[in-house]
Amino acid sequence: MAFFGGPIDARWAEAGFPQVRVVTLTETGTHTSIDARIGSFNGGERELAVQMASPAAGMLVIMDRGFPGVELWKAYTGAAAHLLLRARSTVASRPTKMPRDGSCLG
């Protein structure tokens, strides 16, 4: 538990087994893992995702709404990756385009 960390109970005692955070760069058609990072339970997934920017060069990288951030954006666009991000409703308050399907592009 000392290295990876893990959950604690109501008495602040270690509960269960050590846990890790895993972030993968996965090809969506074949589900092949291109790269992966493993970090401690107390670390963040964004920090792990930033480390995988280089292998994403030239790819369309799709990220869920928990990932967008300036550091991540700079890392992936700096590595010549293309990004499609699902953002939280608070990220882009003004849409730049409103397609007929009802979605918003910001």
For the segment 15-71, what is each residue's pLDDT rounded down to a tens digit? 777 778 899 999 888 999 999 999 987 888 889 999 999 989 999 998 887 777 888
Distance CA 68, CA 91 (A): 9
The separation between CA 47 and the C-alpha centre of its own chain, rounded to angstroms, equals 8
C-alpha separations of 4 from 15, 32, 44, 60 in Å: 13, 26, 12, 31
- With 90 as the cut, is the pLDDT of residue 106 above it? no
For 88-97, write each residue's pLDDT tens digit.
777 666 777 7
C-alpha separations of 7 from 19, 39, 104 in Å: 8, 15, 38
Distance CA 2, CA 16 (A): 13
Q: What phi and psi, each to the nearest 5 degrees, are found at residue 70?
A: -60, -45
Higher pLDDT, 3 or 51: 51
- Which tokens belong to 90? 């608070």
Q: The tokens 């397609």 sit on which residue?
A: 99
